[in-house]
Amino acid sequence: MIVESSPAEVRRIVRAARQRGLIVGCVPTMGALHQGHVSLIESARTDCDFVAVTLFVNPTQFGPNEDFSRYPRTLDADLEMCRTAGADLVFTPPVSSMYSESAQTTVRVTKLAEFLEGAHRPGHFDGVSTVVTKLFNITEPDRAYFGQKDFQQQLIIRQMVTDLNQPVEIVTCPIVREADGLAMSSRNRYLSSAERSHALQLSQALKLAENLAVDSALMPPEIAQAMKDHLNSAGGIDVQYAVIVDSATLQPLAERSDSAVALIAAKVGATRLIDNQILRFR
């Protein structure tokens, strides 16, 4: 496995692989890897001939009061996980290689980024779209792998790739959960023991929505309210949103639909968590 911090050298290595006719897969991450990330790398390994993983804590997607400075950085452990999962190349650029002091360009997706996470984290998706565009320009992948847990993010990246005619297939991989249902996240390590217990209510609320979609005649707004009621009654959770929306447009659903996803964002203590569940109505 090659570990490289130079964008130019990464581009050279990937182009050499492409010249050999290899299909290139990219897994963009911010490091602090867990089994969810490993599942992305393993999916890329199955589908592609050459797998590049990027480890870069991107400053432009953090707001002024967010956790950029304390975001976990575990490079040695991350590299070992990449090696075990079958990565061929790991790109670990310094901030100075990704953003010069004179940088003036931002990539912005509009409608899909204006609500939900976009409303609660202004500018976040501009940072995501910009850095992913840069990472695609450097690694030139045929396919790129993202997790379903960041549902709005993967939808925005799909829109960006379409709008900019980027020749990259976006592959969304299922959420990986702990045995007790908690969605794996790098930020879970912030949780105290008591907070982690509270955090389980997010997946339980989504399970409630999943069951109601199948076992009741309730409409999406009523099921969304049931999720909110569950979370609010549990205690220890500051709900930011709990909604059922169209999985392509993220617009709220009034009627039962074959294109539905339940999305939750909440703070547990000082830690902000998100989770979701695709719904299948009876």
C-alpha span between 109 and 106 (Å, rounded): 10
Bridge partners, 146 (sequence order):
172
Please report the sign of the dihedral spanned by the C-alpha atoms of residue 212, residue 216, residue 222, residue 226. Answer: negative
Active site includes 37? yes
152 membership: H or E segment, kind and range: helix 151-163
Q: Are 128 and 29 in contact (CB under 8 A)?
A: no
Rounded to 5 degrees, what angle do the CA atoms 55, 60, 63 make? 120
Could you say which of 37, 124, 198, 230 is catalytic? 37
126 HSE (CA, 13 A, CB side): 13
Name the one residue in this structure whose structure tokens are 């870069």: 56
Strand order in the sheet with 169-173: 2-4, 89-91, 50-55, 24-29, 143-147, 169-173
Bridge partners, 173 (sequence order):
147
Q: Where does the chain show beta strands of DSSP type E?
A: 2-4, 24-29, 50-55, 89-91, 143-147, 169-173, 238-246, 260-268, 271-279
44 contacts: CB under 8 Å, gap ≥ 6: 25, 26, 27, 51, 143, 145, 171
As a whole number of Å, the CA-based R_g of the chain is 19
C-alpha span between 153 and 124 (Å, rounded): 10
Active site residues: 37
